[in-house]
Amino acid sequence: MQITSHGRFMSWFRLSSVGVALVCSVSLFAAHATAGEPKVLTIGIDGLRRDAFVAAKTPHLDSLADNGTLCLETRVTSDDVTDSDTVSGPGWTTFLTGVWADRHGVLDNSFKGRDAKAAPHGFALAKQVKPNLRTASYLCWTPLRTHVTTDADIDVVVTPGKNATASTVWTEADQALAWSAIPVLKNDNADWTFIYFGSTDETGHSYGFHPSVPPYVAAIENVDRMVGELLEAVKQREAYADEDWLILVSTDHGGEGTGHGGGRENPNVYTAPMIVSGSSAMKGETIQRAEGSAPPATVDLVTVALAHLQIPINPEWKLAGSADGWLKPESTTAEAISKQ
């Protein structure tokens, strides 16, 4: 089975992506001559609709895509698990645990049914194998901290006020998170870092999730600017030349109008961009998987991160994702790990 990132969406891609590829002779995350210590940075951008992402000017995300794989048809739902809604609760729980709602139990934003024992956070799985692995989490949607991201060594939560507006408090919260993460990315020895940005989703709810909505596109571009700050911090690490960074970027859902609930039949909601970037990432615009395999999905993120960190997948975890098509088999033990 061949799944194309562009295909019928080819007309969406902007010339800026080509310009970045031509101008930048050496990407920020170019492959090292020899693989170094594996590190993972996972970036979650809430409510990122795929055609709006393509319409926005996002040089930093484009650069990551140029040095890896961008799939615009990444699924945030499973056809086999039909109870969960296309909202943040199940979306982010899947993103962070590597399983669908039939295992993690979250069907909506109430988080009722959350089964942390059956579906631990990816950080907790990693620490089962490597107890000394250092992790960091930065987010501004507090239910995630309460129900999912409880296993980080560095745990930063910025809580917007109850009367927060997308153009002010949520944007400020995202910037505060970026500024908090920058010194850690630059100086700390964290192995796996997760950073969540929420202003895109809040802007979509206020003005609309669509590439023709200037505030929404501007919110995406502002997050891209902050992504650039994070990448620059990584590049400034003293040990950067001896490290092998994998950058993962995706979302919990897209959007339609000013919402996204009930979107299991709407491709603007249930499909989303996903980027896997770094020296161990596959390069190009297609994802090659065996016929009959599950399509690329955000459930893959945890498996991809664990594979890059050289952590064997325990079958008892019952992870639903795959690193197949995202990572080079020769640069990690992903293929062997997934079959244990």
What CATH architecture does domain 2-8+26-338 belong to?
A: 3-Layer(aba) Sandwich (3.40)
Cα-based distances in Å from 80 to 84, 269, 311: 11, 17, 27
| Residue 100: pLDDT over 60 | yes
Task: Report the chain's terminal Cα–Cα distance, integer Å.
Answer: 23
Identity of the amino acid at 175? Q
Task: Tell me the DSSP string of 2-44.
Answer: EEESSGGGGGG--HHHHHHHHH-SS-TTPPPSS--EEEEEEEE
| pLDDT mean over 270-283 | 97
| pLDDT mean over 85-89 | 97
Q: What is the pLDDT of residue 12?
A: 36
Q: What is the pLDDT of residues 54-79, one digit of tens each?
A: 999 999 999 999 999 999 999 999 99
Q: What is the pLDDT of residue 235?
A: 98
Q: What is the pLDDT of residues 292-336, one digit of tens each?
A: 899 999 999 999 999 999 999 999 999 999 999 999 986 555 444
Return the structure tokens found at 336: 């062997």
Of the candidate ranges 15-24, 241-250, 282-291, the one whose mean pLDDT is the lowest: 15-24
Helices (H), the chain: 15-23, 50-55, 59-66, 88-97, 101-104, 122-129, 142-147, 171-187, 199-207, 214-235, 267-270, 300-308, 334-338
Return the structure tokens found at 298: 């955000």
Q: What is the pLDDT of residue 18?
A: 31
| Residue 27: pLDDT over 70 | no
Q: What is the pLDDT of residue 31?
A: 37
Is the pLDDT higher at 108 or at 168? 108
pTM of the shown model: 0.88
Task: Tell me the DSSP string of 171-215.
Answer: HHHHHHHHHHHHHHHHH---SEEEEEE-HHHHHHHHH-SSTT-HH
CA angle, 115 as apex, 111 and 119 as ends, to 5°?
115
Of the candidate ranges 12-21, 27-36, 67-76, 256-265, the one whose mean pLDDT is the lowest: 12-21
For the chain, the average pLDDT equals: 87
Predicted confidence band at 2 (pLDDT cuts at 50, 70, 90)? very low
Domain boundaries, the chain: 2-8+26-338
Q: What is the pLDDT of residue 9?
A: 32
Q: What is the pLDDT of residue 162?
A: 67
Predicted confidence band at 338 (pLDDT cuts at 50, 70, 90)? very low
Q: Which residue is it, tokens 């998170």?
A: 177
Cα separation, 29 vs 247, whole angstroms: 9
Quick one: which of 13, 109, 4 has its CA closest to 53? Answer: 13
Cα separation, 265 vs 333, whole angstroms: 36
